[in-house]
Amino acid sequence: MKSSPRILFLVTEDWYFWLHWLDLARATRDAGFEVLLATRIQEHGQQISQQGFKLFPISLLRRSLNPIRELLAVWELVRLYRSEKPDIVYHIAVKPIFYGSIAARLTGIRHVINVFAGLGYAYTSNSINARLLRLFLRVGLRAAFAREGSVAVFQNEEDRAQLTHDRIVEEIRARVIPGTGVDIDKFQPTHDKAQESIVLLACRMLWDKGVGEFVEAARLVRQLNLSARFVLVGRCDDDNPASIGLMQLQRWQEEGVVEWWGHRDDMPMVFSRAAVVVLPSYREGLPVSLLEAAACGKPIVASDVPGCREVVRHRVNGLLVQPRNASALADAVTMLLENEGLRVELGRSGREIVVKEFSAAAVISQTLGLYRELLYGTTQAR
């Protein structure tokens, strides 16, 4: 009897897998694959194992630059790939792409899917460290993709264009698949009106998500005597170079300018309370929070940058504003807070767009098609 094909997901953090990639892994399992997951276990190890996935705890750290630790991390992956012999490896984000591709090359794994969940700090910052990181990525990732059977998956067209322009990825090996979609049954409009004028930013607490601009916009809106509450929802992420420290978040709360609710597992309920959902990010892959908010029928405001433009159609389902501009963000939020009819119109259109273009079922089917293309040579539209 022929065994099921095996696919191994490599992602640095179990909470990131649980939040954003669980539905894809379930669909992969239900499509007849044996699913393996290599990740750092912090919060969800038992829950992941209960899904029927084969779980491999690893020590790969996102922020580590210790050369000995990094070599050991690569060797750990080499041993794992050699022992488990997956038919496909699915690397999520830059560090897993780089290290996982080295391990795949050394162990003869034929089929490699490298997923860019946004280009992150290296492309949002102009600091010396970020510029050096971009140079390193050009060299390292170019080598990672220099083999047959390797495919790069981007969540938006502009990221694909950026890396093909930089000659990191060949056009023939690039795909655009918009994330893993949204569960449109879980995230849907509620019939009750928002009880409070909450302006919501749901993201990891990172400067390059535009949290600083959000706080400054809150100060500007308060000067207009609008009875709005500006709320941050999301976890701290100390492993990210753009992380906002806990003390800074507490100072903003003590000042009374914003509320920080921390990480929440009940996001449909959180979105139901919001009047407006914003994301003043500097760059995104495909912003899940905006998709979920739109699915809930909420008007959205976002920076006019790659990723956000994939979701927000200006004056159709939301408003696009100049990035890194707190004043423009405050003006857009004020316009929506003062115009309930516009909020309803944009929210209704947002729901229609998500159902038509970004439902989990439709998007995940594209990834399942890519599996078949790699394993069996069937074709898939790009």
State residue 195's pLDDT score: 55
What confidence score (pLDDT) does residue 67 get? 75
* 319 touches 330 (CB < 8 A): no
Q: Check residue 129 and give its pLDDT.
A: 66
pLDDT digits (tens, 9 = 90+) for 217-239: 999 999 998 889 999 999 998 87
Residues of the chain whose pLDDT is less than 70?
Answer: 1-2, 61-66, 118-126, 129-130, 133-134, 136-137, 139-140, 143-144, 146-147, 192-195, 378-382
Beta-bridge partners for 274: 198
Class of 6-181+359-376 in CATH: alpha beta
* CA quadruple 231, 234, 239, 244: dihedral, nearest 10: 10
- How many other CB atoms are found less than 10 A from the CB of residue 290? 31
Kindly report, residue by residue over 299-314, the tens digit of the pLDDT.
999 999 999 999 999 9
Asked if residue 89 lies in contact with residue 8, where contact means CB atoms within 8 angstroms, the answer is: yes
User: Within its chain, how far is the Cα of 114 from the centroid?
Assistant: 14
The encoded tokens of residue 22 equal: 């669980």
Q: Which residues pair with 276 in a beta bridge?
A: 199
For CATH 3.40.50.2000, the residue range(s) in the chain are 6-181+359-376, 197-357
Residue 199 · residue 218 · CB < 8 Å: yes
CA distance 49 to 248: 36
Residues near 330 by beta carbon (within 8 Å), at least 6 away in sequence:
216, 217, 220, 221
Domain 197-357: CATH class, spelled out = alpha beta
Burial label for 30, CB within 10 Å (0-12, 13-18, 19+), is exposed
Give the per-residue pLDDT at 382: 38
pTM, entire model? 0.89
The conformation of residue 137, written as its DSSP 8-state character, comes to H
Q: Cα(151)–Cα(231) distance, rounded to whole angstroms?
A: 39
Burial of 297 (0-12, 13-18, 19+ CB in 10 A): buried
Q: Are 49 and 55 in contact (CB under 8 A)?
A: yes
